[in-house]
Structure 1
Amino acid sequence: MKKYISTLFAFGALLFLGASCENDAELTYLKEVNFPADIKIAPSSKIVLLEDKADDNAITISWEAVTFPIEAPVTYAVQFDVPADITGSSAWLKATRFEVGQDVLSKSFSVRDLNKIATDLGLQPNSAGKLIVRVEAAMDRKVFSNNVELTVTPFEKSIVFGEIYMPGAYQGEWDVNSASVLTAIEKGVYQGYVTVLPGYGPVFKVNTARNWAEFYGAGTGEGTIQKMSDADLKLPGTGSYQVKVNLNTLKWSATAYAWGIVGTAQSGGWDKSTPMNYDHQTKTWKITADLVPGALKFRLNDNWSVNYGPKDATTNTINRDDQGAYTITEAGTYEVTFTIVETDPATAGYPATATCTIIKK
């Protein structure tokens, strides 16, 4: 009898648990979730992109909040694809995706950004083509908005050459002959890198040649430059920066930017990088640091979105997103260098390989 009662109790408990699970599922995952309305494209879903307007806003995509049965932040992303790739078993697998963030309800794309998206997805320059855009909302599952069609005419990016120069107090003396180089990345748009060490000033000018015949200083508005202006341009302070100068729009910007060493061989472990300094004369990132036995690799801006490690630790070639690391076997002071063909962080188009040296002093 006791055995029968025990069996009956166990069976009842299983039924109760099963019912509870079914109720939970009905309340969360099984409840239908949808976008409450179609996404909006402004100012137009028909866009002709022009290279001399590369910094202008091309489109802003916005949407209404999606309500999930669980009360928690919703992560949104925007996806672009071409009409031929949004159906069938491989639908949207080739899409270009941009994560927007938690509870953020819009995303803007510059002319430059949208041109890259369009050409990467195969649209031909100077010819109108179709893109399909949708928004993804994710929490305990992913749901998608209705598709919206864009007609985009991309431009063919000019092949550009040339450089301008950045003499300033970061050098210790204003020497245009040894100043940091800003390299042309688009027609009239230049990009370069600089480190302001403690004790050095943050001010500089921009010269079009290795002389003072033509230079640019600060303009009257924030982030602007003016030809032959005596007012200095000014970086935020000590640290490393990516500097961009647009001679088309007479604007400039400085963004905090540094490659660093990361791993158990350096003081921050795997959680915090030790930033390197940019040597503008050799175009190399460098650091002299006290290391302990452990692992060492490289990453950008103290996060893992762009990082490099060696496939073969016996060489000085390092590979993007490789899990490998160098092994420091002996504690001591080391000079570490990192050399890479830099790119714009907005494009995430960093090269497959870079090079480094790790030398015990």
Structure 2
Amino acid sequence: MKKYINKLLVICTLLILSASCENDAILTTLKEVSFSGPIEASPNTVVLSTDNENESVVTISWPAVVYPVNAPVSYAIQFDVASDTIGATAWEKSVRVEAGEEVLSKSFLGTDLNKMAIKLGLPVDVAGKMVVRVESTLDRKIYSKAIALTVTPFAKQVVFGQIYMPGSYQDWDINTAAALDAVSSGIYQGYVTFPETKGLGFKFNTERNWAQFYGADANGNLMDHSDTDFQIAAPGSYQMTVNLNTLKWTAVAFSWGVVGDATDGGWDNSTNMSYDHQLKIWKFKGALKVGNVKFRLNNAWTINYGPKNNDEGKVYLDNPGAHYISEAGTYEIIFSIQEKDPTTGIYPATAIYTVKKI
């Protein structure tokens, strides 16, 4: 009997050792992984201006990181200033840009690099130092050594002026037509909602009269005093951009929406709000259930706002809070937000709203 007990102990020991070896095979975090070489910035000195804001001005490249796991590796790039990369809060204030899976370089337009430089506090029209590192992610995060990038940012000139957009959406009344504000020399931008109950035609006027206006040419571009209306593709809310330098226009679907378990779309699908171009506010009117609502842009969580409580009437960027609807019924919700900063491209920290049962 003792002989069989000893054999059983040997078998158990072998099984335990075997299991231990199998577990070691998947404990990849015990194996050292690193960037095989330095990352590079080409060029490493960039002077930014309006001349190159829409051009690729710098490319960050890096060697592949080989993990002991056969799966796609994700990369991201972090930009910061040297003083914020030391201590307990190192890199917490960095600007992080996703690069993608299995890519080894990313290029940046002048306008994007300029926004990052100003956000990080580099003075305009002065050469300043940024530091850059690459983040690699699979079963853990690995960081490259940081490199220096010299950047001279610039301040975009503030421009003023408006053009106007009469159309079927507001019964062609030039006095109440949406105003598109100048965002650059000869370029105008604004928001318009085309209701399902109205037509889709419109024109552009340089004044609140019909002395001068633009209609469509044979290709849909701007033509002085053309009787042919421009046409939007479908009802909805849009960000309209008009370039009087090139005589072209674009319409991009754009809408703030309410989202939450108090809405029909729940937490997965926003209910679009409509834009009041005269009051410059976004509105929702409809049925809500008992539950929560908050606000997000273009049916995505990238830009979202939530309140800290039901009483303040203020919402905060990326705040996890929501407004609680305690009684089901028909409600009107109004959301008012300032434009994002034209220099940094960042949305404001707060916005205001009201919720009213009707």
> Which of 14, 17, 28 pairs up with 2:19?
17
**TM-score (normalizing by structure 2):** 0.83
Q: Deviations over 1:158-212 (max 9, x none)?
A: 23333322222332x2222211122234454432111122243434333332223
Q: Is the 8 A contact 1:40 1:63 kept in 2?
A: no
Secondary structure class of the residue paired with 1:18: helix
- Counterpart in the other structure of 2:255: 258
- Counterpart in the other structure of 2:178: 180
Residues 199, 109 of structure 1: CA spacing in aligned structure 2 closer, same or farther, 3 A cutoff?
Answer: farther
Separation (CA, whole Å) in 2 of partners of 1:118 and 1:219: 41
Unaligned runs of at least 5 residues, structure 1: none
Q: Deviations over 1:31-74 (max 9, x none)?
A: 53435774453xx4433222365444433445565443323333
Q: Deviations over 1:202-256 (max 9, x none)?
A: 343333322234444557878x656656654443322211223344565543222
Greater mean alpha carbon deviation, residues 178-187 or residues 28-37? 28-37
Separation (CA, whole Å) in 2 of partners of 1:342 and 1:134: 31
Separation (CA, whole Å) in 2 of partners of 1:165 and 1:328: 38
> Which of 272, 276, 292 pairs up with 1:275?
272
Q: What is the CA-CA distance between 1:266 and the residue it aligns to? A: 1.0
Alignment of 1:50-129 (within 5 A): 50-51=49-50, 53-62=52-61, 66-86=65-85, 90-129=89-128
- Counterpart in the other structure of 1:169: 168
Residues 206, 61 of structure 1: CA spacing in aligned structure 2 closer, same or farther, 3 A cutoff?
Answer: farther
Separation (CA, whole Å) in 1 of partners of 2:60 and 2:230: 34
Separation (CA, whole Å) in 1 of partners of 2:17 and 2:343: 54
Separation (CA, whole Å) in 2 of partners of 1:198 and 1:346: 35
Separation (CA, whole Å) in 1 of partners of 2:217 and 2:66: 47
Residues 169, 103 of structure 1: CA spacing in aligned structure 2 closer, same or farther, 3 A cutoff?
Answer: farther
- Counterpart in the other structure of 1:308: 305
Separation (CA, whole Å) in 1 of partners of 2:96 and 2:86: 17
Percent of aligned pairs with the same residue?
47
Separation (CA, whole Å) in 2 of partners of 1:221 and 1:60: 36
Q: Deviations over 1:250-305 (max 9, x none)?
A: 55432221111111111111111111111212211112212121212211111222
How many residues in Structure 1 have an aligned counterpart in Structure 2? 356
Unaligned runs of at least 5 residues, structure 2: none
Q: What is the CA-CA distance between 1:138 and the residue it aligns to? A: 1.4
Supply the RMSD in Å over aligned alpha carbons.
3.4
Separation (CA, whole Å) in 2 of partners of 1:52 and 1:235: 32
Residues 249, 65 of structure 1: CA spacing in aligned structure 2 closer, same or farther, 3 A cutoff?
Answer: farther
Secondary structure class of the residue paired with 2:268: strand
Q: What is the CA-CA distance between 1:129 and the residue it aligns to? A: 2.3
Q: Is the 8 A contact 2:33 2:65 kept in 1?
A: no
**TM-score (normalizing by structure 1):** 0.83
| Structure exhibiting the larger radius of gyration computed from Cα positions | 2
Separation (CA, whole Å) in 1 of partners of 2:249 and 2:41: 31
Q: Is the 8 A contact 1:79 1:135 kept in 2?
A: yes
